[in-house]
Structure 1
């Protein structure tokens, strides 16, 4: 049979196999190993960073000539050597000319190696790299097809004062998504970047203490006009200022994520002044989010489709009920992750379920004291759920699984990891009797042989 199949047909078969099987076929013969490698278009590598790393990567990449997506990381993040990173990046330039996406977090790279990358990999549309200070950013112009850029500024390097590199250069970058991590208040060169990013749709700032030097903030507003999604993670020192600029200059914003930072007054000011049509809110603000924020959202943003709250311990049932009533006509996703109000106020979930009958995604993960009675009282009203997550809800039992089977006939994806009260027999019954199920996340010990066989037959992905 092997001799009857041409190379192209074997490769096509490999492409259609699920991940575990596709790795096993490479062991059949040398021919299949070669065909498996040449059919791969995506590869993720975690390197050790020792003396053999360069030779090992060179040998490995030579066997994968058609990669379009490559991710390279160092297993030891303390190995921040620009020399090693540059050597590894030059190997990518040598062997991976067809790349469209590169995630390269093997240490800070130099401008010269980035210039080599732009010459070798002319089709790059997505790039994630680490840089050291000072931030020379004019190299971005050399990647005309780049749509997504993520830059991580490595710690341990001092801020160098100087000119705003490229300040007088006119450029219009094609970037639609920009992620910056570790930007300091005195980093120079950001002003040029903000002025050049006029097509941004998504902006992410992570662990940033500024948006550049003193002159950069005035340039920052120039990139905000068309932005639709903003994520601000651990940016407490600048969050109020960024939110104010968004409220004043960005009418296109539809999605806002804020984790670990900000002031209560700054959030209220944003909600009152922002005139955009927000669709998605995602907050992890343990000590900053209160009922008055939820009431402000309920008053102004009634067309929300997604609300995600994590570890928000100062909100109460009053605020959540008011919000649920306000957005009842369109909310499709609700997450209350590690929010003790779920356990603290009996009847809250039942009320939310009655108001939010169009929910398709529900995440109640890590509410460790959540009981079957409260959970089941919500499920009765949520008949259209396709995605349900209760990871880490230790007190849920088999009764909750029975309720899911009765009330939620449309479920496609379920996460019941670390739910100690749910047993293997309930998992088996759920897998066998859920007509739309495509993915279940649960401990391997709770998946019986019968459940495994049925999942394989029905192409259900069981993830441990």
Structure 2
């Protein structure tokens, strides 16, 4: 039989084998192993030490057996430049690289740029002093993610200042820029702020500074096409970012702020912003209250809001949510109130929201421990377009909720009922057998009966345990 199948047909079969089983293909025969490797386009590897010349040579030889490799992720506990140089010499067709080992040097990055000319996405750790003179050599690069690792020092900063003055400005065509770990006094960032003017997505994580304020402000003013902004654990710099964007940016489509914000800065941004924000995701327990929600409802630019996600926002009340719900009733398709105790504090809130948000397609009420069947069911009755429902960690829900979902929500395709203690095996089985459109369910393995497993398998339903 093996001899009757041509190489192309075997490779097509390999592509259709699910990941848990695909690893066994290489054990069948040398031919199958060769064909599997030659058709593999994506690898995720953990490469532990030692990183001596013999292991690096073996690693490089392994990569050369994958000529079609376009996406590579490497994790380890060291390795630095030798590992990265092995990638550069062995993967000329690489387009996406994620390197999660020790910080890499500018020299190795320059080498990668000359060898892997098709790279469009890079995620690597770098060390101080910061230098980006290697960046312009990546002609195809669109997405860059950098993790700053070692502590800052005054000596390094003086050295960077001298290097900055000697580097000529050149336009870098990045569309997505992600930086993690900026510290006060970091000076090498000015090169990025001056030359990355086409960024559409900006992510900052665990950043205490933005480098030189004046160059960063000019950078934000030049970002006329910025569409997505994510700020995670960046409390000390949020005000200056939001202030600049509220004055200049009209293209912003998505805003995410997690774990550290500014109540006044966020309110000022909402009141003054001229952008037509469509997605808002906030995890700010002590920095978001009703004033922000009411301001959102009053700003006509936000009437097209498609997605609103609030996590652990304990200061909001039903007043603010109802006002916002009325304002965006014709546009909102996704609502998340995750671990928001307003769901439990105010009876009837979910019913009112369900009646207002007729176009809701995705609803996430995860980790609301006190949410009960009656409150949820009263909302679901009005949500006729719902296709995705997440109830993870809602411990007081019971099988009654699943029964109601079967009767009223025939369009559901994705349901998450993981860690719902009151939902039992019988309820899950009945739900799976009577939900014709369901394509994905997340539930504990212990709650899946043999009947439910067979039914899910026969209906090509994805079950995540």
Shorter chain as normaliser: what TM range?
over 0.9
Change beyond 3 A, Cα 1:16–1:317:
same
Structure 2 partner of 1:307: 308
1:414 counterpart SS class: strand
CA apart distance, 1:313: 0.5
Structure 2 partner of 1:368: 369
Q: Is the 8 A contact 2:253 2:278 kept in 1?
A: yes
1:269 counterpart SS class: helix
Q: Tell me the distance in 2 between the aligned counterparts of 1:57 and 1:452.
A: 40
Structure 1 partner of 2:66: 64
Q: Tell me the distance in 2 between the aligned counterparts of 1:59 and 1:439.
A: 40
Structure 2 partner of 1:33: 33
CA apart distance, 1:262: 2.0
Q: How does 1:46-57 map to 2 (within 5 A)?
A: 46-51=46-51, 54=56, 57=59
Q: Tell me the distance in 1 between the aligned counterparts of 2:451 and 2:37.
A: 34
User: Paired residues, what number?
Assistant: 457
Deviations 1:49-80 (A, max 9, x none): 44576466345424323210111122xxxx4x
1:132 to 127, 145, 150: 127
1:161 aligns to 2:160 (yes or no): no
Q: Is the 8 A contact 1:388 1:415 kept in 2?
A: yes
Structure 2 partner of 1:6: 6
TM-score of the pair, normalised by structure 2: 0.94
Q: Is the 8 A contact 2:343 2:349 kept in 1?
A: yes
CA apart distance, 1:454: 2.1
Deviations 1:354-397 (A, max 9, x none): 11111111111111111111111111111211111111111111
TM-score of the pair, normalised by structure 1: 0.94
2:197 counterpart SS class: coil
Q: Tell me the distance in 2 between the aligned counterparts of 1:274 and 1:222.
A: 14
Structure 1 partner of 2:183: 184
Structure 2 partner of 1:271: 270
Structure 1 partner of 2:43: 43
CA apart distance, 1:30: 3.0
CA apart distance, 1:21: 3.2
Deviations 1:282-304 (A, max 9, x none): 00000000000000001112110
Q: Tell me the distance in 2 between the aligned counterparts of 1:223 and 1:177.
A: 15
2:419 counterpart SS class: coil
Q: Is the 8 A contact 1:254 1:277 kept in 2?
A: yes
Q: Which moved more, 1:228-237 or 1:22-31?
A: 22-31
CA apart distance, 1:314: 0.5
Q: Tell me the distance in 2 between the aligned counterparts of 1:216 and 1:386.
A: 45
Deviations 1:236-282 (A, max 9, x none): 00001100011112111111101112221111111111111010100
Q: Tell me the distance in 2 between the aligned counterparts of 1:155 and 1:5.
A: 54
1:94 aligns to 2:89 (yes or no): yes
Q: Tell me the distance in 2 between the aligned counterparts of 1:321 and 1:346.
A: 13
Change beyond 3 A, Cα 1:51–1:109:
closer
Change beyond 3 A, Cα 1:182–1:124:
same
Deviations 1:318-374 (A, max 9, x none): 111111111101100000011111111111111111111111111111111111111
Unaligned runs of 5+ in 2: none
Q: Tell me the distance in 1 between the aligned counterparts of 2:397 and 2:60.
A: 50
1:298 aligns to 2:297 (yes or no): yes
2:137 to 134, 137, 142: 142
2:157 counterpart SS class: coil
Q: Tell me the distance in 1 between the aligned counterparts of 2:150 and 2:386.
A: 43
Deviations 1:151-186 (A, max 9, x none): 110144546222174455231111111101111221
Q: Tell me the distance in 1 between the aligned counterparts of 2:63 and 2:306.
A: 43
Root-mean-square deviation over aligned CA pairs: 1.7
1:107 counterpart SS class: coil
1:437 counterpart SS class: coil
Q: Tell me the distance in 1 between the aligned counterparts of 2:197 and 2:409.
A: 45
Q: Tell me the distance in 2 between the aligned counterparts of 1:420 and 1:50.
A: 46
Q: How does 1:410-429 map to 2 (within 5 A)?
A: 410-429=411-430
Q: Tell me the distance in 2 between the aligned counterparts of 1:405 and 1:150.
A: 44
Q: Which moved more, 1:61-70 or 1:367-376?
A: 61-70
CA apart distance, 1:205: 0.6
Q: Is the 8 A contact 2:217 2:244 kept in 1?
A: no
Structure 1 partner of 2:249: 250
Structure 1 partner of 2:219: 220
Q: Tell me the distance in 1 between the aligned counterparts of 2:183 and 2:290.
A: 33
CA apart distance, 1:46: 2.4
Q: Tell me the distance in 2 between the aligned counterparts of 1:356 and 1:152.
A: 40
Structure 2 partner of 1:344: 345
Q: Tell me the distance in 1 between the aligned counterparts of 2:460 and 2:222.
A: 45
Q: Is the 8 A contact 2:37 2:65 kept in 1?
A: yes
Structure 1 partner of 2:440: 439
Q: Tell me the distance in 1 between the aligned counterparts of 2:22 and 2:451.
A: 24
Q: Is the 8 A contact 1:253 1:276 kept in 2?
A: yes
2:203 counterpart SS class: strand
1:117 counterpart SS class: helix
